[in-house]
């Protein structure tokens, strides 16, 4: 199974009293989302399921793909790692899954899958981490396929 973790692109800070879920992408964030979407569209399988946090900045980031997405409330900011694992059906999904979400959960998920410990690895704004679950010689492995930044695509 392939699991891609895409952190939302750069967003405006929340104004006093503003709901965190309503924060929009900055113009730079819009460019980051477009660049990563171009890269992802060259590499994603057609069967990839795209799961997105309800936060506006994640919705806008995912929209740059131009693909069908599913909003998953459990992927909102502060979500536990297990919520992302459950939503993606890791490691048993029959199709690749792209999650558009937030730090520190994305970094903790990557660390959990790679090391067994949910250490908050840094996932750059607009960046993608691509992980693959496979069986080799009868043992399960997680392989880091790619780490891609919107600035070095």
Q: Enumerate the domain spans of the chain.
A: 2-148
Q: Is the pLDDT of residue 153 over 70?
A: no
Q: How many CB atoms lie within 10 A of CB 3?
A: 25
pLDDT bucket at 18, cuts 50 / 70 / 90: confident
Read off the pLDDT of residues 22-58 as tens digits, 9 standing for 90 and up: 999 999 999 999 999 999 999 999 999 999 999 999 9
Query: Mean pLDDT, the chain, as a whole number?
Result: 96
Percent of the chain surpassing pLDDT 70: 99
Q: Please give the Cα distance from 70 to 130 (Å, whole number).
A: 19
Instruction: Please state the separation of Cα 10 from the chain's center in Å.
Output: 14
pLDDT at residue 22, as a whole number: 95
Contact yes or no for 119/103 (Cβ under 8 A): no
Cβ neighbours for 21, distance < 8 A, ≥ 6 positions apart: 54, 55, 56, 76, 77
- CATH number for the domain whose boundaries are 2-148: 3.40.50.1240
| 122 CB burial (10 A radius; 0-12, 13-18, 19+) | exposed
CA atoms 66, 67, 73, 76: torsion sign: negative
Instruction: With CA atoms as reference, report the closest residue to 48 among 66, 74, 30.
Output: 66
pLDDT in tens, 105-140: 999 999 999 999 999 999 999 999 999 999 888 899
- How far apart are alpha carbons 46 and 20 in whole angstroms? 32
Rounded mean pLDDT of 89-106? 97
């Amino acid at each position: 199974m392939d699991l891609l973790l895409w952190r939302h692109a750069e967003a405006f800070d929340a104004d006093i009293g503003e709901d965190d879920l309503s924060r929009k992408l900055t113009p730079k964030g819009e460019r980051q989302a477009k660049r990563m979407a171009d890269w992802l569209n060259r590499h994603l399988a057609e069967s990839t399921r795209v799961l997105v946090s309800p936060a506006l900045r994640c919705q806008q980031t995912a929209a740059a793909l131009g693909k069908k997405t599913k909003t998953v409330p459990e992927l909102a900011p502060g979500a536990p790692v297990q919520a992302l694992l459950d939503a993606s059906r890791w490691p048993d999904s029959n199709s690749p899954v792209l999650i558009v979400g937030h730090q520190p959960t994305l970094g903790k998920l990557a660390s959990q899958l790679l090391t067994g410990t949910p250490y908050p690895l840094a996932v750059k704004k607009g960046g993608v981490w691509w992980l693959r679950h496979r069986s080799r010689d009868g043992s399960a492995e997680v392989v880091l396929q790619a780490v891609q930044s919107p600035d070095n695509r």
